[in-house]
């Protein structure tokens, strides 16, 4: 038993790439059903995360037990073990993260050091997923629109306000004409929107009225609008010419803003360098 486990278990792939490489490197003399599994899994590796044993078995036209045998051959403890690899690869740290959250709550551990570790981890995950998911083409178009604007109007309230204010700071540093629309004094500054300007609107659920309003106003006047928001179906997306989405991993009700700021900063610096 022990040596049998050794023989099969020592070598389970640790990433999707390793998994595919392993299949690739399998001998051509593989038993018939195993060959079918190998071919089907390689061709449809993206479905593994969301399929059941029965689904894959019928797809590969083998009985479920053949799928199990194949998982064992690859070195996994079972199908679930293999599936975990694919689920984790989609959005990094998700399942692990949910578990950790539960653990933390269970042990009632509110110690500052533990909290810090959580926020650091949340920030790292957010940055990773930002790097993975950002649409380069969209980013390029956003830079293009803002680079030719006379004045960039930045708006972001509530949770988005720190991001907006940092953008305003960075634009100023780079001597790019920018105006921060903060709601101070309930003064309305929408008449500051002039032909040739562009709007950069930042908002997350629950979206604030003022931000949506300013974006709408800009759109009505024919000014380009770049949205930085949490989802491509957000209400901002409707009025924006370019939509950049960013997902922050949250810990409890709190978000670190790491990814949002990284994206905002990228935008600002790219615009700065494009204007020179």
DSSP string, 64-81: HHHHHHHHHHHT-SSHHH
226 near its own copies (CB under 8 A) = no
One symbol per residue from 138 to 177: x for binding DNA (CB under 7 A), - otherwise; what is it? ----------------------------------------
Q: Which of residues 228-247 bind its own copies (CB under 8 A)?
A: 230-231, 233, 235, 247
Q: Which of residues 62-101 bind DNA (CB under 7 A)?
A: 62-66, 68-69, 71-72, 77-81, 83
192 near its own copies (CB under 8 A) = no
13 near DNA (CB under 7 A) = no
Which residue number, 3 or 276, has a Cβ lying nearer to its own copies?
276
Whole-angstrom Cα distance, residue 20 to residue 27?
A: 14
Picking from 20, 65, 12, 16, the residue whose alpha carbon sits closest to that of residue 40 is 20
Q: What DSSP designation does 181 have?
A: E
Least Å from the CB of residue 223 to its own copies: 21
Question: For helices 64-74 and 53-60, what crossing angle results, to 10°?
Answer: 100
Among 5, 7, 14, 17, binds its own copies (CB under 8 A): 17
CB atoms within 10 A of CB 66: 20
Whole-angstrom Cα distance, residue 229 to residue 77?
A: 41
Which residue number, 36 or 153, has a Cβ lying nearer to its own copies?
36
38 near DNA (CB under 7 A) = no
Binding residues vs DNA (CB under 7 A): 29, 31-34, 52-54, 62-66, 68-69, 71-72, 77-81, 83
């Amino acid at each position: 038993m022990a040596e049998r486990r050794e023989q099969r278990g020592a070598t389970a792939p640790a990433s999707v790439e390793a998994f595919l490489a392993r299949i690739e490197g399998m001998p051509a003399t593989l038993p018939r059903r195993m060959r079918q599994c190998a071919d089907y899994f390689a061709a449809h590796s993206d479905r593994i995360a969301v399929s059941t044993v029965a689904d894959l078995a019928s797809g590969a036209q083998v009985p479920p037990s053949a799928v199990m045998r194949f998982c064992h051959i690859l070195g996994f403890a079972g199908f679930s073990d293999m599936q975990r690899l694919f689920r984790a690869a989609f959005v990094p740290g998700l399942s692990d993260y949910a578990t950790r959250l539960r653990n933390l709550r269970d042990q009632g551990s509110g110690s500052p050091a533990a909290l810090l570790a959580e926020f650091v981890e949340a920030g790292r995950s957010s940055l990773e997923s930002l790097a993975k998911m950002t649409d380069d083409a969209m980013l390029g178009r956003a830079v293009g629109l803002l680079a030719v604007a006379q004045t960039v109007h930045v708006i972001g309230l509530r949770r988005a306000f720190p991001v907006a204010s940092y953008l305003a700071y960075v634009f100023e540093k780079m001597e790019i004409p920018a105006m921060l629309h903060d709601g101070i004094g309930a003064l309305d500054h929408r008449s500051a929107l002039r032909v040739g300007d562009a709007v950069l609107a930042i908002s997350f659920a629950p979206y604030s009225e003022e931000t949506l309003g300013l974006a709408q106003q800009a759109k009505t006047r024919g000014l380009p609008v770049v949205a930085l928001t949490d989802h491509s179906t957000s209400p901002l997306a409707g009025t924006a010419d370019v939509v950049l989405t960013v997902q922050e991993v949250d810990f409890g009700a709190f978000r670190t803003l790491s990814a949002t700021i990284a994206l905002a900063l990228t935008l600002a610096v790219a615009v700065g360098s494009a204007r020179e």
